Amino acid sequence: MPNANRTELSDLKVLMAIMHWGSFRRAALDLDLSASALSHAMRKLETRLGVRLLNRTARAVVPTPAGTRLAQRLAVGFAAIDEALGELETQRHFPIGLLRINAPQDAAKLLVVPVLESFVDEFPHIEIELMIEDRIIDIVGEGFDAGIRYGERVPRDMISVPLTPPLRWVVVGSPSFLARHGRPVAPEDLMRMPCIRTRIGDGSILSWELGDGPAMVSLHVRGPVCINDPNAIAEAARRGVGLAYCLEPRVKEEIERGDLEIVLPEWASEGPALCMYYPSRRQPPQGLRQLIDAIRTSNGLAPIARRPRAPPRPPAASALD
Q: What backbone torsions phi and psi does residue 65 show, to the nearest 5 degrees?
A: -55, -40
Res. 268: pLDDT tops 60: yes
Interval 63-75: pLDDT, tens: 888 888 888 888 8
Same domain, yes or no: 152 and 291: yes
**7-32 average pLDDT score:** 82
Res. 275: pLDDT tops 80: yes
In a domain, 205, yes or no: yes
Same domain, yes or no: 154 and 172: no
Same domain, yes or no: 151 and 283: yes
DSSP letter for 313, please.
Answer: P
Same domain, yes or no: 40 and 173: no
In a domain, 317, yes or no: no
Distance, CA of 210 to CA of 230 (rounded, Å): 19
Same domain, yes or no: 35 and 46: yes
Same domain, yes or no: 99 and 180: no
Residue-range definition of the domain harbouring residue 186? 167-271
Beta strand pairing status for 243-247 and 167-173? antiparallel
DSSP-derived 3-state class of residue 206: coil
DSSP letter for 58, please.
Answer: S
Q: What backbone torsions phi and psi does residue 26 show, to the nearest 5 degrees?
A: -70, -35
Burial of 266 (0-12, 13-18, 19+ CB in 10 A): exposed
Res. 307: pLDDT tops 80: no
Q: How many domains does the chain have?
A: 3
Could you give the percent of the chain with pLDDT greater than 70?
86
Same domain, yes or no: 175 and 239: yes
In a domain, 215, yes or no: yes
Interval 119-172: pLDDT, tens: 999 999 999 999 999 888 999 999 999 999 998 889 888 999 999 999 999 999
DSSP-derived 3-state class of residue 166: coil
| Residue 187: Cβ within 10 Å count | 19
Q: What is the dihedral of CA 116, 102, 108, 289, to 10 degrees?
A: -40
The confidence score (pLDDT) of residue 318 equals: 32
Same domain, yes or no: 149 and 282: yes
In a domain, 309, yes or no: no
User: Using an 8 Å Cβ cutoff, are 44 and 52 in contact?
Assistant: no
The confidence score (pLDDT) of residue 4 equals: 53
Distance, CA of 293 to CA of 147 (rounded, Å): 15
321: pLDDT confidence band, cut at 50, 70 and 90? very low
| Residue 200: Cβ within 10 Å count | 16
Q: Could you tell me the CA-to-CA distances from 42 to 27, 53, 202 in Å, in that order?
A: 12, 8, 66
Same domain, yes or no: 293 and 222: no
Residue ending a domain, among 92, 118, 149, is: 92
Taking alpha carbons only, the member of 92, 137, 86, 43 closest to residue 35 is 43
The confidence score (pLDDT) of residue 12 equals: 85
Domain harbouring 123, CATH code:
3.40.190.10
Same domain, yes or no: 191 and 228: yes
Residue ending a domain, among 92, 127, 153, is: 92
In a domain, 312, yes or no: no
Interval 76-110: pLDDT, tens: 877 777 666 665 555 555 567 899 999 999 999 99
Interval 197-255: pLDDT, tens: 999 988 899 999 999 999 999 999 999 999 999 999 999 999 999 999 999 999 999 99
* First and final C-alpha spacing in the chain: 23
Give the bridge partners for 101, in sequence order.
Answer: 130, 146
In a domain, 218, yes or no: yes
Domain harbouring 88, CATH code:
1.10.10.10
Same domain, yes or no: 199 and 254: yes
Same domain, yes or no: 49 and 179: no
Residue ending a domain, among 46, 73, 92, is: 92
In a domain, 251, yes or no: yes
DSSP letter for 111, please.
Answer: I
The confidence score (pLDDT) of residue 225 equals: 97
In a domain, 310, yes or no: no
